[in-house]
Chains A and B, each alone.
Chain A
Amino acid sequence: MLKTDVVVIGAGAVGCAIARELSKYDIRVTVVDKNEDVGGDASKSNSAIIHTGYDATPDSLESQLVVAANPMYDEIVKDLDVPFKRIGAILPAFTQEQFDKLPEIKAKAFKNRVYDVEYKSGAELLEIEPNLNPEVKGGLYIPRESIIDPFILVQALAENANANGVEFLLNAKVTDIKTENSKIKSVVTTKGEIETTYVINSAGLYCDEIAEMVGKAEYKVVARKGQFYILDKKTNCQVNYIVLPIPTKITKGKLMCPTIHGNMLVGPTAEDQESKVDKSTSAEGLASIEKDVRNLIPNVNLRDTITQYSGLRPNRNPEGLHVDTYEDLQGYINLSGVRSTGLTLSVAMGKYVAQVMLNIGAKMVLKDNFIKTRKGIVKFSEQSREEQDKLIQENPLYGNVICRCETITEAEILQAIHRPLGAKSVDGVKRRVRAGMGRCQAGFCGPKVLEILARELGVAPTQINKHNDGSYMVTGKTRE
């Protein structure tokens, strides 16, 4: 049986951030996940925004963690080489009713200690965001709302944790948690049983099912679907800021913002559903995005869409973000209600959970050999002509462009596959280096990436999946 000190269930943003934080201590940590890659479910399909917490419920744990997390990103993105930009958000009001709500929203931001929110006039907003609905009467500016590459964030946290000794067991679904004398004993997965002293349940959408294994299901996860459009980098109607609608009683509404790689992102919907696996888009949902976003940006051109996707936020019923420990079950830490702010608060949650571990008596001593930094894959497309030339001289595979839309070279794809916790699937490659993320959506590079993956992993093309088991790309050879 495998032995460890801490099993983290779930390799999403939160699980990986916890693992990285714990890897600063002399304690053995194993992260298990049912998926074939790190990046979880909710962590890879969201709006890719690092929030300030201006609109959180004041004094809640969620507010505290989001507010604490936001400033942490300046350092963490440098240390871990994660694409990130503090572009700021604007919250424009177009009707008198909306305008009258602004003081209340600003007051709430202040209660959340987000003191840099400021008022801007309609003219000021139109100047910095020319494509805004010209009816704008004024609005709020929230300077530290930021955009990030959510895939790279999770990969970077995981890779860095791994470099500091954290083990990752992927494609391993947790089927049971064994306890003995009110203490955690082991975690049973489809890849074997792991003896452990601590279990941290950061299973997101499935955290209620994990909790049920130890009889702590005091809540239910309610999946809240969010559908999005991604627009071509060359779409004519673009925005410079995260443009947020004034929330109503029912919904926070649909936004438009640039992604860190220069596409436009439009959405999301908010639809509660029973299923935790149904991530389909719907004609109605997509139509509602178009209708709502036109109120903010009248000329948005959704015909320039290059893809649509949806993600599931792991909301909980009853609501609220919780980190629970139990007198009658030692060694078990349960996270629940990690919802749309989960990506943002992940890095603060790492620190919070480490402190919870200390509070419940975990014997953990800080190591003196923690490796703080992680280097990402050098992106050919972002270099100057001279630097590109130099890259090819050093590694000729940088001269072989595989993904023409995003200018991704074979050198980058090989690094995505061969670095620790490397890509094993087509989507794994895509999320690491963006091959197939462009306007042709892998029409040209897909077949090549499939060939490269099979060659580099030493398997037949039929063994290559799009993502998880069962998502095979091809069925066999021709003439068979």
Chain B
Amino acid sequence: MYKMKFDVAVVGGGPAGLAAAIAAKKEGAEKVLIIERDNALGGILQQCIHPGFGLTRFNEELSGPEYYSRFIDEAKALGVETLLNAMVLEVNAEAKEVYCVNSEYGMVLVQAKSVVLAMGCRERTRANIVVPGTRPAGLYTAGSAQRLVNRQNVMVGKKVVILGSGDIGMIMARRMTLEGAKVVMVVELMDYLAGLTRNRVQCLDDFGIPLKLAHTITRIVGNERVEGVYIAPVDGNKKPITDKEEFVECDTVLFSVGLIPENELTKNAGIEMNRITNGPSVNQYMETSKAGVFACGNVVHVNDLVDNVSSESEQAGRFAAKYAKGELSTAEKTVVCQTGRNVRYVCPHKIAATGESEKVALYFRVLSPEENVKLVVKSGDEVIATKKELRVNPGEMCCVKVDVAKVDDTLTVEVVKE
């Protein structure tokens, strides 16, 4: 067994892991390692060749590879080390040990002082949402199709129906169209868009691709290759109205029906999970229930903008370095972030109160779309932060900053109708 010792070990070399490693190094951690299963850093952004990244962070519209290249350059310049082609099999949260395999070294044991989990997420599948019918070739999650088209340069089909109006689905609608495929329609179960409005405009509207809200695929047809799907409108309970079923011919179905944080390592490490986000519960330092184990990016909660991932991950990296140096003081008390009216979840899930003044960004998602609202953060009955929004929707993350010194025994985030 090959052993390595580091101050901070980061699991995952996507945008979250890169930002965390850079921040850890800048905070003064001497030896920082990124463990990455792919043969290159960048994570899923390697296949995101479309523009739209970095608007918040760099005030520029970058492609995925352009965005992460800036981080790779910085990580290299700072001396962050990397172990590529290495799949992590196990994280021991108490011992801060990470077991991974690599063709060159065999079994590798990385011993660290603190660990950052940045494994990202995976796509929900056709089977997860139980779409009945046959199991032919031509059924892909939008992300798999994106990899095949953008990295392996093969076309997954010629006539496409997309289920789910998530961002990857809409981006793939445009991508497939540009590559000469016919995207027949995008079908969305909810009566509102799942992804970002700008993607609907740029990827569907601009290409004349119909979006069918409040519809679903009721059956998949075809034994060898997909021959078509039946679609139907849904009622108020999201149940298909089957007598309105109609057949749509296609040879490919792409599923963009949600992302799930990939937390097999986290769960096996005995780390406390959050039921709503399917990620570990973290405090404002992005520290999990196990001291010295941090988590950031889509492994914690699914983000819609990589810019948010980067800043959240810098927080994780910074405090992982502090922990490694023994500088992270233990909190006097922990306050759980409660969800109020029209709020699905809040991240961080809890605040470690140290009594000191510190600005913390609370990221959260609403349950349903609303217009002209005020985002309100309360501690007890006292309002400690507010922000006005013209409109909110579940597909776009909200953010309010609070000073943790103002947090008393409770904290609640709510959306108030103006």
The interface residues of chain A lying within 8 Å CB-to-CB of B123 are 440, 443
B127 touches A308 (CB 8 A): yes
Chain B contact-residue range equals: 35 or more
Q: Nearest-CB distance from B350 to chain A (Å)?
A: 23
B153 touches A477 (CB 8 A): yes
Given contacts A399-B102, A470-B225, A472-B225, contact A440 B130 (CB under 8 A): no
The answer for the CA separation of A199 and B35 in the assembled complex, in Å, is 58
Q: Nearest-CB distance from B250 to chain A (Å)?
A: 12
B104 touches A399 (CB 8 A): yes
Q: Does A358 contact B (CB under 8 A)?
A: no
The answer for the CA separation of A399 and B37 in the assembled complex, in Å, is 10
Q: Nearest-CB distance from B147 to chain A (Å)?
A: 5
Given contacts A286-B130, A308-B130, A389-B106, contact A473 B137 (CB under 8 A): yes
The interface residues of chain B lying within 8 Å CB-to-CB of A392 are 101-103, 106-107
B132 touches A286 (CB 8 A): yes
With CB as the reference atom, state the residue of chain B lying closest to A462.
Answer: B154
The interface residues of chain A lying within 8 Å CB-to-CB of B180 are 480
How many of chain A's residues have a CB under 8 angstroms from any CB in B?
59
With CB as the reference atom, state the residue of chain B lying closest to A285.
Answer: B132
A280 is contacted by which of B125, B149, B152, B219 (Cβ under 8 Å)? B219
B37 touches A305 (CB 8 A): no
- B62-102, CB under 8 A of A: which get 1 and which 0? 00000000000000000000000101010000000001011
Given contacts A277-B223, A305-B128, A397-B103, contact A471 B136 (CB under 8 A): yes
Q: Nearest-CB distance from A384 to chain B (Å)?
A: 10
Q: Does B179 contact A (CB under 8 A)?
A: yes
Q: Does B284 contact A (CB under 8 A)?
A: no
The interface residues of chain A lying within 8 Å CB-to-CB of B89 are 388, 407
B154 is contacted by which of A307, A471, A476 (Cβ under 8 Å)? A476
A309 touches B148 (CB 8 A): no
B104 touches A476 (CB 8 A): no
With CB as the reference atom, state the residue of chain A lying closest to B39.
Answer: A400
Q: Does B134 contact A (CB under 8 A)?
A: yes
Q: Does B157 contact A (CB under 8 A)?
A: yes
Q: Does B187 contact A (CB under 8 A)?
A: no
A477 is contacted by which of B154, B218, B240 (Cβ under 8 Å)? B154
The answer for the CA separation of A386 and B1 in the assembled complex, in Å, is 7
Q: Does B410 contact A (CB under 8 A)?
A: no
A443 touches B141 (CB 8 A): yes
The answer for the CA separation of A279 and B179 in the assembled complex, in Å, is 33
Q: Does B359 contact A (CB under 8 A)?
A: no
The answer for the CA separation of A281 and B128 in the assembled complex, in Å, is 14
Q: Nearest-CB distance from A244 to chain B (Å)?
A: 24
What 3 A-B pairs come out closest when comparing CB atoms? Answer: A470-B224, A399-B103, A466-B137
Starting from the known contacts A392-B101, A471-B224, 20 additional A-B residue pairs (CB-CB under 8 Å) come to A279-B134, A280-B221, A283-B132, A305-B127, A397-B103, A398-B103, A399-B104, A400-B103, A401-B101, A404-B37, A405-B264, A407-B87, A440-B122, A440-B123, A441-B126, A447-B144, A447-B147, A474-B155, A475-B155, A475-B157
29 pairs across A/B with beta carbons < 8 Å? A234-B264, A277-B223, A279-B135, A280-B133, A282-B219, A305-B127, A305-B128, A306-B127, A306-B128, A307-B127, A389-B106, A389-B107, A392-B103, A396-B104, A399-B104, A399-B105, A399-B106, A401-B37, A405-B264, A443-B141, A443-B143, A444-B144, A446-B144, A447-B144, A447-B151, A450-B154, A470-B224, A478-B149, A479-B153
